[in-house]
């Protein structure tokens, strides 16, 4: 059996190879874990908030929520707030209409949790809480 060339082994060790495309470079902005740089940065922010006691814990892509037949959403972060409430945080650099619509539908269908749309503008995190059916309007 032949071994792979040295340059391929070095690239694999750096995590630059994508499954299914052995010699294709990883798309720009995508980390080896599959999350974007923005999501990685937000995970660091959540860890700091956990250490400070602002949240109890968080998990990345911990749960999938059914929206309709063959339609699911897997929010980026499940956050457990200190008062015991569960929040789903979806992080996007730019919100497309379909992504925002899926999050709004999830907020309507799954009233047992809060849904938060997260973006970063000029280095500061921006939060938009989506109202669910139990929200006071």
> In angstroms, how far apart are the furthest CA atoms of the chain?
67
Outline where the chain has alpha helix (H): 6-13, 37-51, 97-109
Domain range enclosing 66: 37-130
Whole-number Å distance between alpha carbons of 49 and 81: 10
Dihedral pair phi/psi, residue 123, rounded to 5°: 80, 0
Average pLDDT over residues 82-110: 92
**Residue from 82, 72, 84 nearest 110 by CA:** 72
Q: What's the structural domain count of the chain?
A: 2
The verdict on residue 137 lying in a domain is no
Q: Is the pLDDT of residue 87 over 70?
A: yes
The answer to which of 55-59, 60-64, 80-84 has the lowest mean pLDDT is 80-84
126 and 69 share one domain: yes
Q: Is the pTM of this model over 0.85?
A: no
pLDDT of residue 32: 54
Q: What is the mean pLDDT of the chain?
A: 81
52 and 96 share one domain: yes
15 and 41 share one domain: no
Q: Is the pLDDT of residue 33 over 80?
A: no
In sequence order, the β-bridge partners of residue 86 are 80
Q: Is 33 helix (H, G, I), strand (E, B) or coil?
A: coil
Q: Is the pLDDT of residue 18 over 50?
A: no
pLDDT of residue 3: 54
Whole-number Å distance between alpha carbons of 131 and 108: 8
């Amino acid at each position: 059996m032949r071994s792979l060339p040295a340059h391929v082994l070095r690239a694999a060790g750096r995590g630059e190879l994508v499954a299914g495309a052995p010699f294709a470079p990883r798309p720009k902005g995508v980390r080896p874990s599959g999350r974007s740089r923005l999501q990685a940065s937000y995970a660091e922010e959540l860890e700091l908030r956990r250490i400070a006691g602002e949240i109890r814990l968080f998990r990345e892509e911990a749960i999938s929520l059914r929206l309709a037949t063959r339609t699911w959403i897997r929010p980026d972060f499940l956050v457990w707030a200190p008062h015991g409430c569960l929040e789903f945080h979806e992080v996007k650099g730019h919100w497309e209409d379909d992504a925002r619509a899926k999050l709004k539908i999830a907020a309507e269908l799954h009233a047992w949790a809060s849904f938060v749309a997260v973006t970063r503008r000029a280095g500061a995190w921006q939060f938009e809480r989506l109202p669910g059916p139990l929200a006071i309007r």
